[in-house]
A = this chain, B = another copy of it.
Amino acid sequence: MPPKPHTAPAEDPCACGLKAVARRLGIRERAKALRPGQILEAARDEFCQHGFAATRLEDIAKRAGISKALIYVYYPTKTDLFLAVARHVTDPIKGADFVLDPERSAEDQLRHEHERFYANLLQDEHTLGILRLIISESHRVPEIGQFYALELVGGEIESLRDLIRHGMARGEFAPDALERLTGIEDIVIAPGIMIMLTQIIGGGVQYDLSKWSKAHLDMVLGLLKAG
Protein backbone atom coordinates (compact mmCIF):
# COMPACT_ATOMS: atom_id res chain seq x y z
CA MET A 1 0.00 0.00 0.00
CA PRO A 2 1.47 3.41 -0.95
CA PRO A 3 2.03 5.58 2.11
CA LYS A 4 -0.38 8.44 2.28
CA PRO A 5 1.16 11.91 2.50
CA HIS A 6 1.27 13.33 5.98
CA THR A 7 -0.47 16.56 6.76
CA ALA A 8 2.23 19.19 7.07
CA PRO A 9 3.07 20.15 10.67
CA ALA A 10 3.92 23.70 9.69
CA GLU A 11 3.56 25.08 13.20
CA ASP A 12 6.54 25.40 15.54
CA PRO A 13 8.35 27.94 13.39
CA CYS A 14 11.47 28.04 15.54
CA ALA A 15 12.67 24.77 17.00
CA CYS A 16 16.30 25.71 16.53
CA GLY A 17 18.74 25.74 19.36
CA LEU A 18 16.90 23.03 21.23
CA LYS A 19 19.65 20.55 20.63
CA ALA A 20 19.32 19.22 24.14
CA VAL A 21 15.84 18.03 23.33
CA ALA A 22 17.09 16.13 20.32
CA ARG A 23 19.96 14.59 22.21
CA ARG A 24 18.28 11.34 23.18
CA LEU A 25 16.31 10.99 19.97
CA GLY A 26 17.17 8.76 17.08
CA ILE A 27 19.05 9.90 14.01
CA ARG A 28 15.91 10.66 12.06
CA GLU A 29 14.27 12.73 14.76
CA ARG A 30 17.48 14.59 15.39
CA ALA A 31 17.77 15.52 11.73
CA LYS A 32 14.14 16.51 11.60
CA ALA A 33 14.45 18.71 14.67
CA LEU A 34 17.19 20.70 12.96
CA ARG A 35 15.33 21.24 9.69
CA PRO A 36 13.33 24.38 10.58
CA GLY A 37 16.43 26.19 11.73
CA GLN A 38 18.36 25.12 8.64
CA ILE A 39 15.60 26.25 6.32
CA LEU A 40 15.08 29.52 8.14
CA GLU A 41 18.75 30.43 7.96
CA ALA A 42 19.03 29.61 4.29
CA ALA A 43 15.80 31.46 3.52
CA ARG A 44 16.97 34.48 5.49
CA ASP A 45 20.15 34.74 3.45
CA GLU A 46 18.37 34.34 0.14
CA PHE A 47 15.57 36.75 0.98
CA CYS A 48 18.01 39.35 2.29
CA GLN A 49 20.03 39.13 -0.86
CA HIS A 50 17.28 39.04 -3.49
CA GLY A 51 14.08 40.25 -1.84
CA PHE A 52 10.83 38.34 -1.69
CA ALA A 53 9.82 38.09 -5.32
CA ALA A 54 13.25 37.34 -6.77
CA THR A 55 14.09 34.57 -4.34
CA ARG A 56 13.65 31.02 -5.66
CA LEU A 57 12.53 28.28 -3.31
CA GLU A 58 14.87 25.99 -5.21
CA ASP A 59 17.83 28.16 -4.21
CA ILE A 60 16.81 28.18 -0.58
CA ALA A 61 16.61 24.39 -0.67
CA LYS A 62 20.01 24.11 -2.32
CA ARG A 63 21.57 26.42 0.26
CA ALA A 64 20.00 24.41 3.07
CA GLY A 65 21.22 21.18 1.47
CA ILE A 66 17.75 19.69 1.09
CA SER A 67 15.14 19.39 -1.62
CA LYS A 68 12.54 22.02 -2.42
CA ALA A 69 9.71 19.64 -1.57
CA LEU A 70 10.94 19.27 1.98
CA ILE A 71 10.46 22.97 2.60
CA TYR A 72 6.76 22.52 2.01
CA VAL A 73 6.56 19.99 4.82
CA TYR A 74 7.43 22.76 7.26
CA TYR A 75 6.04 25.88 5.58
CA PRO A 76 2.89 25.63 3.46
CA THR A 77 3.65 28.59 1.16
CA LYS A 78 6.46 30.94 0.23
CA THR A 79 4.70 33.74 2.07
CA ASP A 80 4.48 31.70 5.26
CA LEU A 81 8.17 30.94 5.03
CA PHE A 82 8.89 34.62 4.55
CA LEU A 83 6.89 35.54 7.64
CA ALA A 84 8.68 32.92 9.67
CA VAL A 85 12.00 34.36 8.50
CA ALA A 86 10.91 37.84 9.47
CA ARG A 87 10.15 36.68 13.01
CA HIS A 88 13.24 34.51 13.22
CA VAL A 89 15.41 37.38 12.11
CA THR A 90 14.01 40.03 14.35
CA ASP A 91 13.74 37.96 17.50
CA PRO A 92 17.42 38.13 18.47
CA ILE A 93 17.53 41.87 17.87
CA LYS A 94 14.56 42.33 20.12
CA GLY A 95 16.35 40.25 22.74
CA ALA A 96 19.35 42.56 22.93
CA ASP A 97 17.74 44.84 25.45
CA PHE A 98 19.49 47.50 27.37
CA VAL A 99 19.01 47.54 31.13
CA LEU A 100 19.73 50.69 33.05
CA ASP A 101 22.24 50.42 35.87
CA PRO A 102 21.19 52.98 38.49
CA GLU A 103 24.68 53.06 39.95
CA ARG A 104 26.72 53.94 36.87
CA SER A 105 26.77 57.39 35.35
CA ALA A 106 24.41 58.06 32.45
CA GLU A 107 27.15 59.29 30.16
CA ASP A 108 29.17 56.18 30.80
CA GLN A 109 26.28 53.90 29.89
CA LEU A 110 25.40 56.04 26.90
CA ARG A 111 28.93 55.78 25.55
CA HIS A 112 28.91 52.07 26.12
CA GLU A 113 25.62 51.50 24.27
CA HIS A 114 26.78 53.82 21.52
CA GLU A 115 29.94 51.82 20.99
CA ARG A 116 28.04 48.56 21.09
CA PHE A 117 25.76 49.77 18.32
CA TYR A 118 28.56 50.76 15.98
CA ALA A 119 30.64 47.69 16.77
CA ASN A 120 27.66 45.49 15.95
CA LEU A 121 27.23 47.37 12.67
CA LEU A 122 30.77 46.42 11.69
CA GLN A 123 30.81 42.80 12.70
CA ASP A 124 27.31 41.46 12.12
CA GLU A 125 26.90 41.01 8.41
CA HIS A 126 23.23 40.17 8.78
CA THR A 127 22.00 43.41 10.31
CA LEU A 128 22.14 45.45 7.14
CA GLY A 129 20.60 42.78 4.97
CA ILE A 130 17.77 42.49 7.43
CA LEU A 131 17.14 46.20 7.43
CA ARG A 132 16.97 46.16 3.66
CA LEU A 133 14.51 43.31 3.92
CA ILE A 134 12.40 45.32 6.34
CA ILE A 135 12.37 48.37 4.11
CA SER A 136 11.76 46.51 0.88
CA GLU A 137 8.98 44.25 2.02
CA SER A 138 7.29 46.21 4.79
CA HIS A 139 4.45 47.37 2.60
CA ARG A 140 3.89 43.83 1.38
CA VAL A 141 3.92 42.41 4.91
CA PRO A 142 2.61 45.09 7.28
CA GLU A 143 3.68 43.00 10.24
CA ILE A 144 7.29 43.79 9.38
CA GLY A 145 6.68 47.51 9.40
CA GLN A 146 4.92 47.26 12.73
CA PHE A 147 7.84 45.38 14.17
CA TYR A 148 10.27 48.03 12.99
CA ALA A 149 8.27 50.93 14.38
CA LEU A 150 7.16 49.42 17.66
CA GLU A 151 9.79 46.91 18.67
CA LEU A 152 13.05 48.04 17.10
CA VAL A 153 12.89 51.82 17.11
CA GLY A 154 10.26 52.01 19.87
CA GLY A 155 12.34 49.88 22.22
CA GLU A 156 15.44 51.90 21.54
CA ILE A 157 13.56 55.12 22.23
CA GLU A 158 12.21 53.77 25.50
CA SER A 159 15.68 52.82 26.73
CA LEU A 160 17.09 56.15 25.66
CA ARG A 161 14.38 58.03 27.53
CA ASP A 162 15.16 56.14 30.70
CA LEU A 163 18.82 56.89 30.27
CA ILE A 164 18.18 60.60 29.77
CA ARG A 165 15.99 60.76 32.87
CA HIS A 166 18.71 59.01 34.80
CA GLY A 167 21.26 61.54 33.65
CA MET A 168 18.98 64.44 34.48
CA ALA A 169 18.43 63.10 37.98
CA ARG A 170 22.17 62.78 38.51
CA GLY A 171 22.77 66.30 37.25
CA GLU A 172 24.83 65.09 34.29
CA PHE A 173 22.44 66.45 31.70
CA ALA A 174 20.55 69.72 31.57
CA PRO A 175 17.55 69.56 33.90
CA ASP A 176 15.18 70.38 31.05
CA ALA A 177 16.85 68.08 28.50
CA LEU A 178 13.78 66.00 27.82
CA GLU A 179 11.19 68.78 27.62
CA ARG A 180 13.36 71.31 25.86
CA LEU A 181 13.25 69.49 22.57
CA THR A 182 10.13 67.51 21.91
CA GLY A 183 11.08 64.42 20.03
CA ILE A 184 14.71 64.63 20.96
CA GLU A 185 14.81 60.88 21.57
CA ASP A 186 13.94 60.14 17.95
CA ILE A 187 16.22 62.79 16.51
CA VAL A 188 19.10 61.44 18.52
CA ILE A 189 19.07 57.98 16.99
CA ALA A 190 18.67 59.31 13.45
CA PRO A 191 22.39 59.27 12.58
CA GLY A 192 22.49 55.60 13.53
CA ILE A 193 19.65 54.84 11.16
CA MET A 194 21.17 56.96 8.44
CA ILE A 195 24.57 55.31 8.52
CA MET A 196 22.92 51.91 8.28
CA LEU A 197 20.97 53.11 5.28
CA THR A 198 24.09 54.51 3.71
CA GLN A 199 25.85 51.18 4.15
CA ILE A 200 22.91 49.37 2.59
CA ILE A 201 22.73 51.57 -0.45
CA GLY A 202 26.45 51.66 -0.92
CA GLY A 203 27.12 53.83 -3.93
CA GLY A 204 30.85 53.58 -3.70
CA VAL A 205 31.27 56.29 -1.09
CA GLN A 206 32.92 54.90 2.00
CA TYR A 207 32.21 56.66 5.23
CA ASP A 208 34.72 56.58 8.06
CA LEU A 209 32.63 54.79 10.65
CA SER A 210 34.72 55.82 13.65
CA LYS A 211 34.59 59.45 12.59
CA TRP A 212 30.85 59.19 12.07
CA SER A 213 30.39 57.50 15.43
CA LYS A 214 32.30 60.26 17.19
CA ALA A 215 30.35 63.04 15.50
CA HIS A 216 27.13 61.28 16.44
CA LEU A 217 28.11 60.90 20.08
CA ASP A 218 29.30 64.50 20.28
CA MET A 219 25.98 65.64 18.92
CA VAL A 220 24.02 63.63 21.45
CA LEU A 221 26.07 64.70 24.44
CA GLY A 222 26.10 68.29 23.24
CA LEU A 223 22.32 68.35 23.07
CA LEU A 224 21.86 66.69 26.43
CA LYS A 225 24.38 68.74 28.36
CA ALA A 226 23.64 72.13 26.83
CA GLY A 227 22.04 74.40 29.39
Contacts of A153 in B (CB 8 A): 198
A205 adjacent to B51 (CB under 8 Å)? no
Asked whether A205 lies within 8 Å of B154 as measured between CB atoms, the reply is yes
B218 and A181 within 8 A (CB):
yes
Chain A interface size, under 10 / 10 to 19 / 20 to 34 / 35 or more: 35 or more
Whether B187 pairs with A191 at a CB distance below 8 angstroms is yes
Decide if A135 touches B132 in the complex (CB within 8 Å): yes
Q: CB within 8 A of A53: which of B53, B144, B150?
A: B53
**A21 close to chain B: CB less than 8 A:** no
Contact B205 A150 (CB under 8 A): yes
Instruction: Give the residues from 191 to 227 in chain A that come closer than 8 angstroms, CB to CB, to chain B.
Output: 191, 193-194, 197-198, 200-205, 207-208, 211-212, 214-216, 218-219, 222-223, 226
A146-B204, A149-B202, A182-B215 are known; give 18 further A-B pairs, CB within 8 A: A132-B135, A135-B200, A142-B202, A142-B203, A145-B202, A146-B203, A147-B203, A149-B201, A154-B205, A183-B208, A183-B211, A184-B215, A186-B207, A186-B212, A187-B219, A193-B194, A194-B194, A222-B223
